[in-house]
Structure 1
Amino acid sequence: MEFVLDPPRGVGPLSLGMTIDEARGALETLGRLTPTVHGELVLHLPSGLGFSVGFGVGPTRGRVNAIEVWRPHEQDVVRYRDVDVFGLPALEVVERLRRHIDIVPNEDDDGFTARKLHLALWRPFSEEDDPDDEQGRFFQSVLLARPGYDDTPAEAAARLAAGDEPGY
């Protein structure tokens, strides 16, 4: 299967802003949900592709505010702007995406974020740390979130004061 990242809408059948029941139904169109200790909505496909859904608090309680997609081992493809975010080496993904969007390295890990799009690509370490380990060579997950998802408390207050919805 092919999934297209569509910030700030969602990915595949999942949309930011869905209710818990809507998100559960959307994931179930892809396969059987993975039971978790705390009842999170998680799906693992045979290809290794995984989905995890995060929900807001406060004014966005019970609504999808983030969708994380994990790298498949085979078959499934996840794209943004026609770039295979898991199938190409991480630095090539960044190079290609920079033709279209502002994406910068994270300060606290070896991932990259397009903050205006609320799109984050993650890997546990850089390929420079271990060139033979594909976990550092390829992105391992991508997070798509609602605008304001990573706001500081001051930014969230300003967003609310301006009449916008908070992201978390």
Structure 2
Amino acid sequence: MMRGAAILFAALIAAPAAAPAATFDPVGVSVEDILACRMDARHYNGLISWLTGPDNGAAKRKWTRVEGRDPTVVEYRLPTPANILGHTTDRIALAGTAVLAILPDVAPASIAGEAGIQNTTPTADRFLGERVIDRQVERDADLGMDMTYKRVLIVTVLTRYPGMTFAGCSYRTEEGQR
């Protein structure tokens, strides 16, 4: 019994830990993985910095910036269409902590229903639904506090984009255990 515990302990020590943010390679992550919440939430800020910063990662991916209707949303046209929840688009948006596919002529209730997402603002002209995909709480020794990392699948509409549904992932980092 003691030998088995020692082997298990040795295996746990030798097992690789979760990849630190510094090892993230933004070139290697696909648009579909980003949209479908398959990227580690701790890597979101690095991705956005690479895409929109001096490295101009968006241009390296051949994403073309599109003049948008909302100053809080940064839009891109993709060189090849991406798939999100069974729908295809060549346009995505960066908005706050989210990367969202822009889906014209897709009813938000339809795509949300397929993803098991409920509308939290049930009015005729509004839709916002989300589902937490993953939540991890980690102690940040440098800050001396817990940090919560979440990946949240979102379906929403924006009033400045009539007839369009936005669907994708919000990568959230929050203080404490939320």
TM-score (norm 2): 0.42
TM-score (norm 1): 0.44
Higher gyration radius (CA): 2
